[in-house]
Amino acid sequence: MGPFTPVGRLRPAARPETAMIVAERIPEVRRQVDEARQREETVRLVPTMGALHAGHRSLIQTARRDGGFVVVSLFVNPTQFGPGEDLARYPRPIEDDLAACEDEGVDLVFHPPTEEMYPDEPKTTVHVADLTGGLCGAQRPGHFDGVCTVVTKLLGIVRPDAAYFGEKDAQQLAVVRRMVADLNLPVRIRACPLVRDADTLATSSRNRYLSDQERSRALALPKAVLEAGGRIRAGERDAAAVERRVRKALEAADGVELEYVAVVDPDTLAPLETIGQQVLVAAAVRVGQTRLIDNCLLRNLDDRGEA
Amino acid sequence: MGPFTPVGRLRPAARPETAMIVAERIPEVRRQVDEARQREETVRLVPTMGALHAGHRSLIQTARRDGGFVVVSLFVNPTQFGPGEDLARYPRPIEDDLAACEDEGVDLVFHPPTEEMYPDEPKTTVHVADLTGGLCGAQRPGHFDGVCTVVTKLLGIVRPDAAYFGEKDAQQLAVVRRMVADLNLPVRIRACPLVRDADTLATSSRNRYLSDQERSRALALPKAVLEAGGRIRAGERDAAAVERRVRKALEAADGVELEYVAVVDPDTLAPLETIGQQVLVAAAVRVGQTRLIDNCLLRNLDDRGEA
């Protein structure tokens, strides 16, 4: 297991900088967070499903830079997977994930077994209307209910001052922000930019499903959304024209099956006619058995291009 | 307004025992609660819709006795009223409520205008399945979604260590407990016994709707559920027999329209065949335009009667 502090070990009041705590149980997390708070540390949560990549690392690095007690949760949440989806084969490289967390100076990893999160058949659901109907929500019914519910649970367990989400999952970010606002949850949501690999593919835990050929085919996705971003920055304001070009490019791409293209407001996810100060161009495709999403998020646009 | 501290007044670090704060805005509540926490006070929340009666007072007294910083919210939550219900005419005797809170030694009253709780059209709903389908839930579709959502909001705003609910609203209590467990909300739920007026009618804000004649007719309700409790304590274990007797008594009562009788487990609200260690006998009736509920809750029963 490496040099991780086992669950339940008694710790001195002044926590040494180096020892990462790995907790599988909720009471242990709560105790550790309480102790951090008693040391007047700010508590930060990076919720993940593990299989950590450079995108996750950038979230953790941002949290680490913001300072305080950094918690990373590693939990493949079954309730956000649909019946035909990849729950069973979703990667769970726990040793690598723990090493990555330690490498990034994480203070506590919460890695609960499923029965710790769902001891009984869960009866409670947190649902965000409207924002969850389109984009990925249309393809993945119930997905965002699962996300909202598990995020609410993780916020209740860790009670962080701030929680970190990637802009790669742009719809998830908008939904979580709306949920936190609507429910007055006492947490700041911090968004971190999408991270791309050298070949421009957005980092994703699901990229490891791709064969070499599939990966090279998948590059049509970042190409299309980045091109859309370029045109918008250059002054394009007709949302339908942007959408059409991305759709055309992805429909023409070899071995790529288009799921959706959306040109929407990044906060409300409402479709745009004319692009104003901010826009999210989001798309989802299938390459072989693998579902991939990507997007270009632009804010603070002026009348003709970037501010 | 009387001797209440106005919103936003600067307060010394050591809070004088006597000054009750009245806050209409969420940031003010959060600031006051943060200060209480810095004084290492336990924070307690009694959520109410105002029109405080002896039942509410007993909740507040219990919270006060438990010690710490006692918050009472007074908010007539529109989202838990159905289209044909009494939202518009629900009593809002704010002066009396503030006087009652001050009388009970409340530290902070949160009395938000509706737009403070719902600044935008709310899109987020907290739903508890199964437990909300029967009893009052069957008569009031959407009611418990409204309750769960506003309770989650109040818990997010006040972040209490403990929240106080009355056993009068037995289904609400079971639903809130399940929600808190399912969502890992960091709060202890404390239940307080139903309080009856001298004539045995359960205290309720809606009792003030009753004419003298209606009130005397309404007494069939406590009579029926208390009788059921007596029979169970005396050894009756056949749930259907208990249900039948209550139903018969209420169907025979003058000017009383029966809505439901339920003999269920008080935690799961699942119907019972044989009464075991615990039982909730709950009923709802209409007397004139007024809907009234009452119940008898028994726990720790032995094989033949009370433990």
Q: Where along chain A do its domains lie?
A: 21-192, 205-298
d(CA A148, CA A257): 28
pTM listed for this prediction: 0.93
In this predicted model, what pLDDT tens digit does every residue of A227-257 receive, in sequence order? 999 999 999 999 999 999 999 999 999 999 9
d(CA B161, CA B69): 10
For residue A119 the two structure tokens come to 């001891």
Evaluate if residue A4 carries a pLDDT over 80: no
Q: Tell whether B239 is within 8 A of chain A (Cβ).
A: no
Number of neighbouring beta carbons within 10 Å of residue B187: 19
Mean pLDDT of the region B165-178: 98
Residue B184 and residue A26: Cβ atoms within 8 Å? yes
Mean pLDDT of the region A58-80: 98
User: What count of residues does chain B have?
Assistant: 307
Evaluate if residue A18 carries a pLDDT over 90: no
Residue A123 and residue B178: Cβ atoms within 8 Å? yes
For residue B259 the two structure tokens come to 């809505």
**For position B304, what pLDDT does the model report?**
59
B56 is an active site residue: yes
Residue A243 to residues A44, A83, A224, A246, A297, Cα–Cα distance (Å): 37, 30, 10, 5, 14
Would you say the ipTM is above 0.85?
yes
Q: Which of residues 87-146 of B touch A (CB under 8 A)?
A: 120, 122-131
Mean pLDDT of the region A86-91: 96
For residue A307 the two structure tokens come to 């501010």
Q: Tell whether B264 is within 8 A of chain A (Cβ).
A: no
Number of neighbouring beta carbons within 10 Å of residue B37: 16
Question: Which of A63, A64, A10 is closest to A35 using CA atoms?
Answer: A10
Among the partner-chain residues A120, A124, A128, the one whose CB lies closest to the CB of B128 is A124
In chain B, the residue whose alpha carbon lies closest to the alpha carbon of A179 is B124
In this predicted model, what pLDDT tens digit does every residue of B73-103 receive, in sequence order? 999 999 999 999 999 999 999 999 999 999 9
Question: Which of A193, A123, A304, A142 is closest to B129 using CA atoms?
Answer: A123
For residue A120 the two structure tokens come to 């009984």
Domain A205-298 superfamily per CATH: Pantoate-beta-alanine ligase, C-terminal domain (3.30.1300.10)
8-state DSSP, B41: P
Mean pLDDT of the region A132-152: 97
CA-derived radius of gyration, chain A: 20
Q: How would you list the strands of the sheet with A290-298, edge to edge? A: A257-264, A279-287, A290-298
Q: Going by C-beta distance under 8 Å and a sequence separation of 6 or more, which residues neighbour residue B91?
A: B50, B51, B205, B208
Share of chain B above pLDDT 70, in %: 93
Number of neighbouring beta carbons within 10 Å of residue B272: 21
d(CA A281, CA A225): 7
- The CATH number, out of the four listed (3.40.50.1700, 3.40.50.620, 3.40.50.880, 3.30.300.130), of the domain defined by the range A21-192: 3.40.50.620
SS3 assignment for chain A: CCCCECCCCCCCCCCCCCCCEEECCHHHHHHHHHHHHHCCCCEEEEEECCCCCHHHHHHHHHHHHHCCEEEEEECCCHHHCCCCCCCCCCCCCHHHHHHHHHHCCCCEEECCCHHHHCCCCCCEEEEECCCCCCHHHHHCCCHHHHHHHHHHHHHHHHCCCEEEEECCCHHHHHHHHHHHHHCCCCCEEEEECCCECCCCCECCHHHHHCCHHHHHHHCHHHHHHHHHHHHHHCCCCEHHHHHHHHHHHHHHCCCCEEEEEEEECCCCCCECCECCCCEEEEEEEEECCEEEEEEEEECCECCCCEC
Mean pLDDT of the region A271-282: 98
Residue B22 to residues B31, B68, B112, Cα–Cα distance (Å): 13, 17, 10
Residues on chain A touching B181 (C-beta within 8 angstroms): 120
Evaluate if residue B4 carries a pLDDT over 80: no
In this predicted model, what pLDDT tens digit does every residue of B267-300 receive, in sequence order? 999 999 999 999 999 999 999 999 999 999 999 9
d(CA A145, CA A132): 9
**For position B11, what pLDDT does the model report?**
43
Question: Which of B29, B40, B41, B36 is closest to B68 using CA atoms?
Answer: B41
Residue B125 and residue A123: Cβ atoms within 8 Å? no
Residue A222 backbone zone (phi > 0: left; psi -120 to 50: alpha; other: beta) = alpha
